[in-house]
């Protein structure tokens, strides 16, 4: 059961990392096109991703 939890944890973290990368590309695209609303949306999304990661980083998932 422990291995299944670790497997799930790794994929959840991978998913959040991909969300963060997507947010960074969205922010870059918004800056390049001069879209301020898109930029703010991307920044808020990036901040939300980090907030959702706090429980993963603050709890013990190592073993």
Supply the pTM of this predicted model: 0.81
Encoded tokens for 3:
């291995």
61: which DSSP letter?
Answer: -
Cα distance between residue 15 and residue 17, in whole Å? 5
Judge whether residue 56 has pLDDT over 90.
Answer: no
Question: Does 3 reside within a domain?
Answer: no
Question: Does 31 reside within a domain?
Answer: yes
> Taking a C-beta distance cutoff of 8 angstroms, is the pair 27, 43 a contact?
yes
Question: Does 35 reside within a domain?
Answer: yes
Question: Does 63 reside within a domain?
Answer: no
Strand spans (E) along the chain: none
Q: What is the mean pLDDT of residues 44-61?
A: 88
Count: domains in the chain: 1
Question: Does 39 reside within a domain?
Answer: yes
* Residue 33: domain span: 12-56
């Amino acid at each position: 059961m422990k291995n299944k939890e670790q497997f799930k944890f790794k994929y959840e973290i991978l998913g959040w990392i991909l969300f963060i990368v997507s947010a960074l590309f969205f922010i870059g695209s918004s800056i390049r096109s001069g879209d301020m609303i898109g930029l703010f949306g991307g920044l808020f999304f990036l901040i939300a991703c980090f907030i959702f990661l706090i429980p993963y980083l603050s709890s013990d998932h190592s073993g």
